[in-house]
Amino acid sequence: MNVKKDLFGHALSQFYFKKDPAKLYSESNISHWDEYPLTQLFRGFDQMPEIERQALSLAQGKILDVGCGAGSHSLYLQNLGRDVRSIDLSKGAVQIAQSRGVAQVTETSLLDYDGERFDTIIMLMNGTGIFESLESVPAYLNKLKTLLNPKGMLLIDSSDLRYMYDTGDDEAIWVPADRYYGELEFRLRYKKEFSEKFPWLFLDKHLFAHLAESNGWTFEILHEGAHYDYLAKLMP
Protein backbone atom coordinates (compact mmCIF):
# COMPACT_ATOMS: atom_id res chain seq x y z
CA MET A 1 0.00 0.00 0.00
CA ASN A 2 1.26 3.46 -0.94
CA VAL A 3 0.89 5.16 2.45
CA LYS A 4 0.92 8.74 1.13
CA LYS A 5 -1.55 7.89 -1.63
CA ASP A 6 -3.89 5.97 0.71
CA LEU A 7 -3.22 7.46 4.13
CA PHE A 8 -6.88 6.99 5.03
CA GLY A 9 -6.69 3.27 4.24
CA HIS A 10 -3.38 2.94 6.08
CA ALA A 11 -4.75 4.57 9.24
CA LEU A 12 -7.90 2.46 9.01
CA SER A 13 -5.84 -0.73 8.63
CA GLN A 14 -3.61 0.11 11.58
CA PHE A 15 -6.69 0.76 13.70
CA TYR A 16 -8.55 -2.39 12.62
CA PHE A 17 -5.84 -5.01 12.18
CA LYS A 18 -3.24 -3.85 14.71
CA LYS A 19 -5.50 -2.07 17.24
CA ASP A 20 -3.27 0.99 16.93
CA PRO A 21 -4.93 3.85 18.89
CA ALA A 22 -3.16 6.59 16.89
CA LYS A 23 -5.61 9.20 15.61
CA LEU A 24 -6.33 10.37 12.09
CA TYR A 25 -6.74 14.12 11.57
CA SER A 26 -8.12 16.20 8.72
CA GLU A 27 -7.93 19.87 7.79
CA SER A 28 -9.54 21.85 5.00
CA ASN A 29 -9.33 25.31 3.50
CA ILE A 30 -12.04 26.44 5.96
CA SER A 31 -11.11 24.41 9.06
CA HIS A 32 -8.11 23.59 11.22
CA TRP A 33 -6.83 20.13 12.12
CA ASP A 34 -9.60 18.06 13.67
CA GLU A 35 -9.81 14.39 14.61
CA TYR A 36 -11.54 12.08 12.13
CA PRO A 37 -12.97 9.37 14.44
CA LEU A 38 -12.16 6.04 12.82
CA THR A 39 -14.68 4.32 15.10
CA GLN A 40 -17.55 5.89 13.15
CA LEU A 41 -16.69 3.63 10.22
CA PHE A 42 -17.45 0.55 12.33
CA ARG A 43 -20.82 1.55 13.75
CA GLY A 44 -23.74 -0.84 13.89
CA PHE A 45 -27.12 0.15 12.52
CA ASP A 46 -28.40 1.49 15.85
CA GLN A 47 -25.39 3.81 16.20
CA MET A 48 -25.71 5.28 12.70
CA PRO A 49 -27.30 8.71 12.15
CA GLU A 50 -30.97 8.75 11.17
CA ILE A 51 -30.08 9.74 7.59
CA GLU A 52 -28.00 6.59 7.11
CA ARG A 53 -30.57 4.36 8.81
CA GLN A 54 -33.33 5.69 6.58
CA ALA A 55 -31.27 5.20 3.42
CA LEU A 56 -30.47 1.61 4.36
CA SER A 57 -34.12 0.92 5.17
CA LEU A 58 -35.17 2.19 1.73
CA ALA A 59 -32.52 0.35 -0.28
CA GLN A 60 -34.07 -2.43 -2.34
CA GLY A 61 -33.34 -4.89 -5.11
CA LYS A 62 -29.78 -5.11 -6.33
CA ILE A 63 -27.70 -2.51 -4.46
CA LEU A 64 -24.41 -0.71 -5.11
CA ASP A 65 -22.64 0.87 -2.11
CA VAL A 66 -20.35 3.60 -3.48
CA GLY A 67 -17.50 4.63 -1.18
CA CYS A 68 -18.17 1.70 1.14
CA GLY A 69 -15.25 2.41 3.48
CA ALA A 70 -14.93 -0.33 6.11
CA GLY A 71 -18.16 -1.88 4.84
CA SER A 72 -20.63 -1.21 7.67
CA HIS A 73 -23.52 -0.22 5.38
CA SER A 74 -22.87 -3.13 3.04
CA LEU A 75 -22.64 -5.60 5.93
CA TYR A 76 -25.95 -4.46 7.36
CA LEU A 77 -27.69 -4.90 4.01
CA GLN A 78 -25.90 -8.18 3.32
CA ASN A 79 -27.02 -9.56 6.68
CA LEU A 80 -30.61 -8.74 5.70
CA GLY A 81 -30.17 -10.95 2.65
CA ARG A 82 -29.80 -8.09 0.17
CA ASP A 83 -27.78 -8.48 -3.04
CA VAL A 84 -25.00 -5.92 -2.53
CA ARG A 85 -21.94 -4.83 -4.50
CA SER A 86 -19.48 -2.44 -2.83
CA ILE A 87 -16.74 -0.22 -4.22
CA ASP A 88 -14.11 2.07 -2.73
CA LEU A 89 -11.02 3.80 -4.05
CA SER A 90 -9.03 3.00 -0.89
CA LYS A 91 -7.14 -0.30 -1.01
CA GLY A 92 -6.89 -0.36 2.77
CA ALA A 93 -10.64 0.15 3.20
CA VAL A 94 -11.42 -2.59 0.69
CA GLN A 95 -9.14 -5.04 2.53
CA ILE A 96 -10.93 -4.29 5.80
CA ALA A 97 -14.38 -4.64 4.22
CA GLN A 98 -13.33 -8.03 2.86
CA SER A 99 -11.94 -9.07 6.24
CA ARG A 100 -15.21 -8.09 7.93
CA GLY A 101 -17.16 -10.30 5.54
CA VAL A 102 -18.35 -8.02 2.73
CA ALA A 103 -18.84 -10.57 -0.02
CA GLN A 104 -18.47 -8.53 -3.21
CA VAL A 105 -16.22 -5.50 -2.85
CA THR A 106 -13.98 -3.96 -5.50
CA GLU A 107 -11.17 -1.40 -5.36
CA THR A 108 -12.15 1.11 -8.03
CA SER A 109 -13.39 4.62 -8.60
CA LEU A 110 -17.03 5.27 -9.46
CA LEU A 111 -16.17 6.60 -12.91
CA ASP A 112 -14.15 3.45 -13.70
CA TYR A 113 -16.76 0.99 -12.43
CA ASP A 114 -18.78 -0.77 -15.10
CA GLY A 115 -20.61 -3.89 -16.14
CA GLU A 116 -23.71 -4.11 -13.93
CA ARG A 117 -26.96 -2.28 -13.29
CA PHE A 118 -28.64 -1.74 -9.96
CA ASP A 119 -32.02 -0.95 -8.46
CA THR A 120 -30.52 1.19 -5.68
CA ILE A 121 -27.24 3.04 -5.39
CA ILE A 122 -26.28 4.40 -1.97
CA MET A 123 -23.70 7.14 -1.41
CA LEU A 124 -23.56 8.01 2.28
CA MET A 125 -21.47 9.97 4.82
CA ASN A 126 -21.55 13.02 2.54
CA GLY A 127 -21.93 11.06 -0.66
CA THR A 128 -21.58 14.19 -2.80
CA GLY A 129 -17.96 14.43 -1.70
CA ILE A 130 -17.07 11.90 -4.39
CA PHE A 131 -18.21 14.40 -7.04
CA GLU A 132 -15.21 16.57 -6.04
CA SER A 133 -16.37 19.85 -7.66
CA LEU A 134 -19.39 21.55 -9.19
CA GLU A 135 -17.84 21.24 -12.63
CA SER A 136 -17.68 17.44 -12.40
CA VAL A 137 -21.21 16.84 -11.04
CA PRO A 138 -22.78 16.29 -14.51
CA ALA A 139 -20.17 13.64 -15.40
CA TYR A 140 -20.87 11.74 -12.19
CA LEU A 141 -24.64 12.00 -12.56
CA ASN A 142 -24.38 10.74 -16.13
CA LYS A 143 -22.20 7.84 -14.98
CA LEU A 144 -24.67 6.95 -12.24
CA LYS A 145 -27.47 6.84 -14.81
CA THR A 146 -25.62 4.09 -16.68
CA LEU A 147 -25.50 1.99 -13.50
CA LEU A 148 -29.22 2.12 -12.68
CA ASN A 149 -32.00 -0.14 -13.88
CA PRO A 150 -35.24 1.47 -15.13
CA LYS A 151 -37.03 2.99 -12.10
CA GLY A 152 -33.81 2.65 -10.09
CA MET A 153 -32.88 5.23 -7.48
CA LEU A 154 -29.87 6.98 -6.00
CA LEU A 155 -29.92 7.62 -2.24
CA ILE A 156 -27.32 10.22 -1.36
CA ASP A 157 -26.62 12.61 1.50
CA SER A 158 -24.83 15.91 1.89
CA SER A 159 -24.75 19.08 4.01
CA ASP A 160 -25.13 22.80 3.47
CA LEU A 161 -21.92 24.34 4.84
CA ARG A 162 -23.34 27.84 5.26
CA TYR A 163 -23.01 27.40 9.03
CA MET A 164 -19.22 27.31 8.62
CA TYR A 165 -19.09 30.86 7.25
CA ASP A 166 -19.51 34.27 8.84
CA THR A 167 -22.73 36.18 8.33
CA GLY A 168 -23.39 39.88 7.92
CA ASP A 169 -25.98 42.01 9.67
CA ASP A 170 -28.55 40.93 7.08
CA GLU A 171 -27.74 37.26 7.87
CA ALA A 172 -26.32 36.75 4.38
CA ILE A 173 -23.23 34.52 4.44
CA TRP A 174 -19.83 35.77 3.36
CA VAL A 175 -18.64 33.23 0.82
CA PRO A 176 -15.49 32.90 -1.29
CA ALA A 177 -15.54 34.89 -4.51
CA ASP A 178 -13.53 32.33 -6.48
CA ARG A 179 -15.48 29.12 -5.78
CA TYR A 180 -18.76 27.67 -4.53
CA TYR A 181 -18.66 27.62 -0.73
CA GLY A 182 -19.18 23.84 -0.59
CA GLU A 183 -16.10 23.10 -2.72
CA LEU A 184 -13.43 22.20 -0.19
CA GLU A 185 -9.88 20.91 -0.29
CA PHE A 186 -8.86 18.46 2.43
CA ARG A 187 -5.63 16.98 3.70
CA LEU A 188 -5.14 14.12 6.16
CA ARG A 189 -2.50 13.64 8.87
CA TYR A 190 -1.66 10.34 10.53
CA LYS A 191 1.32 10.16 12.89
CA LYS A 192 4.08 11.91 10.90
CA GLU A 193 2.58 11.32 7.47
CA PHE A 194 0.51 13.77 5.44
CA SER A 195 -1.73 12.94 2.51
CA GLU A 196 -1.86 14.87 -0.70
CA LYS A 197 -4.62 17.47 -0.84
CA PHE A 198 -7.86 16.27 -2.38
CA PRO A 199 -11.15 17.96 -3.37
CA TRP A 200 -14.41 17.17 -1.58
CA LEU A 201 -17.84 18.63 -2.41
CA PHE A 202 -20.70 19.55 -0.10
CA LEU A 203 -23.91 20.59 -1.87
CA ASP A 204 -26.77 22.62 -0.46
CA LYS A 205 -30.14 21.07 -1.30
CA HIS A 206 -31.29 23.88 -3.61
CA LEU A 207 -28.22 23.76 -5.81
CA PHE A 208 -28.22 19.96 -5.83
CA ALA A 209 -31.87 19.94 -6.92
CA HIS A 210 -31.04 22.33 -9.78
CA LEU A 211 -28.04 20.28 -10.90
CA ALA A 212 -29.99 17.03 -10.73
CA GLU A 213 -32.98 18.34 -12.66
CA SER A 214 -30.73 20.01 -15.25
CA ASN A 215 -29.15 16.61 -15.91
CA GLY A 216 -32.36 14.63 -16.28
CA TRP A 217 -33.05 13.46 -12.72
CA THR A 218 -35.95 13.94 -10.35
CA PHE A 219 -34.90 15.17 -6.91
CA GLU A 220 -36.67 14.62 -3.61
CA ILE A 221 -35.60 15.41 -0.03
CA LEU A 222 -36.39 12.44 2.19
CA HIS A 223 -34.97 13.63 5.50
CA GLU A 224 -33.34 16.75 6.93
CA GLY A 225 -31.07 16.65 9.95
CA ALA A 226 -30.40 19.22 12.62
CA HIS A 227 -27.05 20.33 11.17
CA TYR A 228 -28.02 21.36 7.62
CA ASP A 229 -27.58 17.75 6.48
CA TYR A 230 -30.11 15.91 4.33
CA LEU A 231 -30.89 12.69 2.50
CA ALA A 232 -32.06 12.93 -1.11
CA LYS A 233 -33.57 10.45 -3.56
CA LEU A 234 -32.74 10.94 -7.23
CA MET A 235 -34.31 9.03 -10.11
CA PRO A 236 -33.37 9.39 -13.80
Instruction: Give a yes or no: residue 153 inside a domain.
Output: yes
Give CA–CA dist 155/166, Å, rounded. Answer: 31
pLDDT at 170: 58
Tally of structural domains, the chain: 1
pLDDT at 115: 78
Give CA–CA dist 62/119, Å, rounded. Answer: 5
Instruction: Give a yes or no: residue 211 inside a domain.
Output: yes
Helix axes 50-58, 72-79, angle to 10 degrees: 40
The percent of the chain in helix, strand and coil, each rounded to the nearest 5, is 30, 30, 35
pTM: 0.95
Distances (CA, A) of 172 to 29, 159, 165, 207: 21, 18, 10, 17
Spans of the chain, pLDDT less than 50: 1
Sequence letter at residue 24: L
pLDDT at 4: 60
Give CA–CA dist 140/225, Å, rounded. Answer: 25
| Domain with 80 in it | 45-185+194-235
pLDDT tens profile 88-108:
999 999 999 999 999 999 999
Query: Where does residue 51 fall: left (phi above 0), alpha (psi -120 to 50 degrees), or beta otherwise?
Result: alpha
pLDDT at 178: 87
Instruction: Give a yes or no: residue 29 inside a domain.
Output: no
